[in-house]
Amino acid sequence: MLKIENLTKTFGSVNAVDNISFTVDRPMMIGVIGASGAGKSTMLRMLNQLETATSGKITVEGRDITGLKGADKRRWQRDCAMIFQQFNLVPRMDVVSNVLHGTLNKRSTLATMFNLYPSEDIHKAIDILDRLGIAAHAAKRAEALSGGQQQRVAIARAIMQDPKIVLADEPIASLDPMNAQIVMDDLRRIHDEDGRMVIANLHTLDTARRYCDRVIGMRMGRIVFDGTPEQLTTGVARDIYGADASFSEAATSTSLDALEREAALA
Ligand SMILES: Nc1ncnc2c1ncn2[C@@H]1O[C@H](COP(=O)(O)OP(=O)(O)OP(=O)(O)O)[C@@H](O)[C@H]1O
């Protein structure tokens, strides 16, 4: 259903994404890992068309989505929702209105200007918040919520678009381990229960292993690993991160256990 062929993005002399290809033939949960600057965000941003590819092709269900413009691009961005590390909510706006923003691309400019939302959309937004366990916060301003709660609002906003694909760019990088787990559980659920494809850039190996069906490892713009979590051994991880023998898995972990074990060994 998703095919990426020879995709490249160049910024000046930097090949942020360098001629990558892969195919996904069914909705699954995919983790993308790699060191800072490996090209993970740029790849996701090209998928969502926030960034235009320098060359190469992205095909979804047989349709070429590379270089879409205008209404076609907006329609694609609705089918392919994106979640960011910093949540990207409107801080002073209440939670429900933030979730309703997920419908912006399909509403008229006038309706948007006057914040006119159909009541069925309002009910749908509250149902989604309820499903994610945060309906009690619906009337609060987004800025009054914890980081973990704000990320769940961002997930609710994404689901409001009813997307086929959910892209998550470091969704748990700003969260403590407990909230990170809640957010990852939610992402897994929207894959398992709704059948949506989820592609998440992750800083931490243990998260990729625990939650994903498939892991793609990037290094310097290229794909250097594409396999199952079981195949992601410490040796493979060392190659992906370009680390020497002192490479420590705990340094790429959000798990308190791993960090504490590492500290005890030091
Ligand atoms: N808009 C831009 N202009 C210039 N260079 C860019 C731009 N966006 C990304 N880059 C460069 O492209 C390369 C890949 O960046 P990218 O953000 O995709 O990596 P990443 O793996 O997501 O890293 P991180 O985990 O730190 O977010 C880096 O060298 C980065 O400096």
| Annotated domain spans of the chain | 2-265
Atom number, ligand 1, closest to the C-alpha of residue 42: 18
194 CA to centre of ligand 1 in angstroms: 31
Residues 6+ positions from 16 with CB-CB distance below 8 Å: 9, 10, 39, 42, 221
Of 8, 9, 42, which is best to mutate to test ligand 1, by the most ligand atoms within 8 angstroms of its C-beta?
A: 42
In sequence order, which residues have a C-beta less than 8 Å from that of residue 37 and are 6 or more positions away?
220
Contacts of 221 (CB under 8 A, 6+ apart): 15, 16, 17, 18, 20, 38, 39
Q: What is the pLDDT of residue 117?
A: 79
15-25 tens-digit pLDDT? 999 999 999 99
Q: Each residue of 181-236: pLDDT tens digit?
A: 999 999 999 999 999 999 999 988 999 999 999 999 999 999 999 999 999 998 89
Condensed to tens digits (0 to 9), the pLDDT of residues 48-62 reads 999 999 999 999 999
Does residue 1 carry a pLDDT above 60? yes
Mean pLDDT of the chain: 89
pLDDT tens profile 228-259? 999 999 889 989 998 765 566 666 655 545 54
User: Cα–Cα distance between 129 and 33 in angstroms, integer?
Assistant: 29
Please give the pLDDT value at position 260: 54
Closest ligand 1 atom to residue 38 Cα is 21
Helix/strand/coil for 240: helix
CA distances from 176 to 40, 146, 206, 256, 264 (A): 22, 11, 15, 9, 21
| Strand-pair category, 29-33 with 55-60 | unpaired
The pick from 7, 8, 11 for probing ligand 1's pocket by mutation, whose C-beta has the most ligand atoms within 8 angstroms, reads 11
> Given a cut of 80, is residue 104 above it in pLDDT?
no
Band the pLDDT of 113: cuts 50, 70, 90: low
Ligand 1 mean position, distance from CA 210 (Å): 26
* DSSP-assigned letter for residue 57: E
Pick from 143, 110, 114, 142: nearest CA to 129: 142
Q: What is the arithmetic mean of pLDDT over 68-75?
A: 91
Cα dist from 8 to 59, 158, 189, 239, whole Å: 14, 27, 32, 22
pTM for the predicted model, two decimal places: 0.90
Cα→Cα distances 158→146, 174, 237, 241, Å: 18, 19, 31, 30
pLDDT in tens, 114-147: 566 788 899 999 999 999 999 999 999 999 999 9
Lowest mean pLDDT among 2-11, 93-102, 148-157, 189-198: 93-102
**Residue 192 and residue 187: Cα distance in Å, rounded?**
9
Question: From ligand 1's centre to the CA of 41, what distance in Å?
Answer: 7
Q: Which residues have any ligand 1 atom within 6 Å of their CB?
A: 11, 14, 16, 34, 36-42
Q: What is the ipTM of this complex?
A: 0.96
pLDDT at residue 245, as a whole number? 54
Smallest Cα–Cα separation from 89: which of 25, 156, 26?
156
Please give the CATH superfamily to which domain 2-265 belongs.
P-loop containing nucleotide triphosphate hydrolases (3.40.50.300)
pLDDT in tens, 152-182: 999 999 999 999 999 999 999 999 999 999 9
The SS3 of residue 201 is strand
Centre of ligand 1 from the C-alpha of residue 39, in Å = 6
How much is the pLDDT for 102?
75
- Measured from the Cα of 203, ligand 1's closest atom is 25
Report the alpha-carbon distance of residue 118 to residue 137 in Å, rounded: 21
